[in-house]
Copies of this chain bind each other. A is one copy, B any other.
């Protein structure tokens, strides 16, 4: 028997469903209802109670928390789904995790983690008895406790929420290369309005049914956001169905509020979906022929705050946005509201659900799976537990053979690509490269030799001509920084390794996502049972200084400012000056754990400086004096010429060459920074230099001309506490740009060789007339260069006669 989904958009009434064969017996129906009520009871308890957790005495004001916090709105629909999937996990021995997309739906997950016993195992003081339950309630949204998202403290969670739109992309990331895993993913209807979520439905074009697991999305239409209706709950059934067909899914509808019929409909629909998933997987795996199934997804329409009071006084509660957060707000000041709450909580009959000791009764307990089959206990969601060590080939094998520093040219990024190719090759099922359509443009296409781009859409004849597409690939590209970042996060959170490559200017698109991942990592480090996961590696190229021809919109190196605001425990920033340094830094990042590593390096050809041994030594220190480029041997320097970033290094070296021509006796110390956080005081970052170490490099009384890749004030913000910071003159990108040649762009921002040399002359005392003459000459050269570029469209510095040498 099946009932047609209704045209009605009302969430109330008997279940309407695409399929419904009433699979539950009467006894099962009774038990699932009881289990669901137990979960709802716990959700309310978390929001309200600090004492009297099982209502064994009449509810009094002193049992209620002083400040009421938490969210009720989406708990019921989420818990309902969780509970019904438990049945299928047991029946089909499934391997599954639960991802809670809607913001603030933690009570749904927490209540289930508690009922299935996972919570008490992880937190023994939240034991399965009245006293443990009391503590479990009190800690929720309480100082020193846990929040109303599925935070890192939540067992089974790899997805916190806190800002919306990443549930689907996290889910796909988790199931890639986990062929037996199903990610049951609740998607909020508010969340669905966000851009990141709206495009992430297309992730199904990147999932291979042979090698990857499955995502089963449950779009939860509960009708309202904080104060507004949701779009998807207010469009016609036909539009809604068409939308998901259009996204490439097969939608199943479960709509209503009547408990008995909803249980049957949900049990039936989830089971249909699981069977479909298994069928598609079997079809592809048995035949060895991959294809893009129209994977099933569920639209679950239930009232917001389902199972709560329909009205409070004259106002709607259940089925309205007033049910979003704390449903009855004035229980502390209004006795009748306290009564309402008590009656409501008692309507779930806690005395029938929990035994004498306060533990859920056995006939309900056995509805949950056991051991690691419990979704909150699945080790995949504590990624370090299932993580295999990344096999990293010896990066020294990819070294560029530097004969003379600063003479040969090489594409650092292309070389790095050959290293990444071998990483891909050595880790065929637990390392992927992600990017928004830029891997080739970023000169990393060597990777395709080991793993092509995953593409499950239709193929054209042209694709054979260098398309590098395959069902079975290792590079994930979609023109959505949000989606690829979400995939990568999901991939590493579930125990694997990866790297995202992107144009530098557009990485701001995912500022907020990276912030949230940093926060996730930081909290994880405070949770004893969380095991380390691989670092999130972000490789930025197409950098500001070589975006001259794309113009102003492509010039923004400010992602580093965003990252530098995060906790020093979790962020690392590297700006390798040449190919061998990039290899050394890249190797380090891939092996590291629990960080967000940002590497910034240009993709164009560059002069090369350090032999591999020198590069390793330099990168290990993170900062160093380059003796071969310095002229202060055995002397106090007259000038420190410092730089950070590959293009800045290049210009700073050219500037020292110019200065040497004019002032052969000048003692110039050349300093290069690879690891940006070296310059912060050691008290503020684990990588920071001590004041003595800093002074040994930069001095505290000599002029320092510092050429920085990004906005110059970031260096001042990192060094303001250093002695001698007054002598630090920093140049960098000052938001000046247009269609320029590279040298013109540098001149606009004062980071070119001429400006750097002039800045130095202006700061070195005692250069006298010779200084004035050199200054004039350099100014003249700067103008001539600019004019040359303006008339010819290329830089004079690209001509060989302009090359400087040591």
A347 at the interface (CB under 8 A from B): no
Contact call B440/A554, Cβ cutoff below 8 A? no
Closest to A163 in B: B506
Q: Which of A200-258 contact B (CB under 8 A)?
A: 200, 202, 205, 223, 225-231, 234-236, 238-248
Q: Are A460 and B223 within 8 A (Cβ)?
A: yes
Q: Kindly state whether residue A525 has any CB partner on chain B within 8 Å.
A: no
Q: Are B66 and A793 in contact (CB under 8 A)?
A: yes
**A9: which of B143, B144, B460 is its contact (CB, 8 Å)?**
B460
* A515 and B508 contact, Cβ closer than 8 Å, known pairs A143-B741, A195-B199, A567-B735: yes
Q: CB of A697 within 8 A of chain B?
A: no
Residue from the list B163, B228, B516, B740 in contact with A143, Cβ < 8 A:
B740
Provide the residues of chain B in CB contact with A229, threshold 8 Å: 455, 457, 460, 463, 467, 469
Q: Which B residues are CB-close (under 8 A) to A725?
A: 720
**Does A198 reach chain B (CB closer than 8 Å)?**
yes
Shortest A452–chain B CB gap in Å is 11
Are A506 and B511 also in contact (CB < 8 A) when A195-B483, A437-B227, A478-B193 are? no
Is the beta-carbon distance between B550 and A148 smaller than 8 angstroms?
yes
Within 8 A of B (CB), among A439-498: 439-441, 453, 455, 457-460, 462-463, 465-467, 469, 477-483
CA of A196 to CA of B479, assembled, Å? 11
Find out whether the CB atom of A457 lies under 8 angstroms from the CB atom of B235.
yes
Q: Are A565 and B558 in contact (CB under 8 A)?
A: yes
Chain B proximity of A45: nearest CB distance (Å): 15
How far, in angstroms, from A194 to B484 measured CA to CA in the complex? 11
CB distance from A463 to the nearest CB of B (A): 7
Contacts A247-B243, A552-B519 given; does A143 touch B508 at CB 8 Å: no
The interface centre, meaning the residue of A141, A241, A793 with most chain B CB atoms within 10 A of its CB, is A793
Selecting from A400-408, A426-434, A708-716, A769-777, the interface stretch reads A708-716
The interface residues of chain B lying within 8 Å CB-to-CB of A554 are 162
| A806 interface contact, C-beta 8 A | no
A246, A247, A319, A550 pick with most chain B CB within 10 angstroms: A246
| Binding site secondary structure of chain A | loop
**Chain B, residue nearest A719 (CB):** B720
Q: Which residues, 690 to 705 on A, are CB-close (under 8 Å) to B? A: none
**CB of A165 within 8 A of chain B?**
yes
Chain B residue numbers with a CB within 8 Å of A552 are: 147, 151, 162, 519, 522-523
A348 part of interface (Cβ distance < 8 Å): no
Q: Which A residues between 167 and 213 are near B, CB-CB below 8 angstroms?
A: 190-191, 193-200, 202, 205
A793 touching B67, Cβ below 8 Å: yes
Contacts of A144 in B (CB 8 A): 738-740, 790
Q: How near does chain B come to A147, taking the closest CB pair, in angstroms?
A: 4
Partner of A10, one of B66, B460, B562: B460
The A120-145 residues at the B interface (CB cut-off 8 A) are 141-145
**How far is it, in angstroms, between the C-alpha of A459 and the C-alpha of B194 when the chains are bound?**
21
Tell me which of B50, B231, B508, B713 contacts A511 (CB under 8 A): B508
B717 pairs with A551, CB closer than 8 A:
no
Cβ B519 vs Cβ A553 within 8 A: yes
List A residues at the B interface (Cβ < 8 Å).
9-10, 50, 65-67, 69, 141-149, 151, 160-165, 190-191, 193-200, 202, 205, 223, 225-231, 234-236, 238-248, 314-316, 319-320, 322, 437-441, 453, 455, 457-460, 462-463, 465-467, 469, 477-483, 505-506, 508-509, 511-512, 515-516, 519, 522-523, 549-554, 556, 558, 561-562, 565-567, 711, 713-714, 716-718, 720, 725, 735, 738-741, 744, 789-790, 792-794
Would B197 and A195 count as touching, CB distance under 8 A?
yes
The 9 closest A-B pairs by CB, nearest first: A243-B246, A162-B553, A195-B195, A234-B457, A147-B551, A198-B199, A508-B512, A717-B717, A242-B246
Seed contacts A9-B458, A245-B246; 18 additional CB < 8 Å A-B pairs: A66-B793, A145-B739, A146-B739, A147-B549, A193-B480, A193-B483, A195-B199, A198-B198, A229-B457, A229-B469, A231-B457, A234-B458, A240-B246, A242-B245, A316-B462, A508-B515, A519-B553, A561-B562
Q: A479, B193: Cβ atoms under 8 Å? A: yes
Nearest Cβ on chain B to A698's Cβ, whole angstroms = 15
- Bound: A146/B69 CA distance, A: 54
Q: Which residue of B lies closest to A303 (CB)?
A: B462
- Point out the residues of chain B lying under 8 angstroms from A246, CB to CB: 239-247
Using Cβ atoms and an 8 Å threshold, which residues of chain B touch A565? 556, 558, 561, 711, 735
Taking the closest CB of chain B, its distance from the CB of A192, in whole angstroms, is 8
5 CB-based A-B contacts, threshold 8 Å = A143-B789, A162-B552, A163-B505, A508-B562, A713-B717
Give the distance in Å from the alpha carbon of A314 to the alpha carbon of B225 in the complex: 55
State the CA gap A164–B553 with chains docked (Å). Answer: 11
Chain B residue nearest to A193 (CB atoms) is B479
For A245, give the chain B residue with the smallest CB separation: B242
A714 to B720, CA, bound (A): 11
Contact B793 A438 (CB under 8 A): no
Kindly state the separation between the CA atoms of A161 and B552 in the bound complex, as whole angstroms.
Answer: 11
A242's partner among B243, B455, B716, B793 (CB-CB below 8 A) is B243
List of B residues within 8 angstroms of A459 by Cβ: 234
Contacts of A506 in B (CB 8 A): 163, 512
Report the bound CA distance from A234 to B319 in whole Å.
40
Residue on B with the closest CB to A202? B231
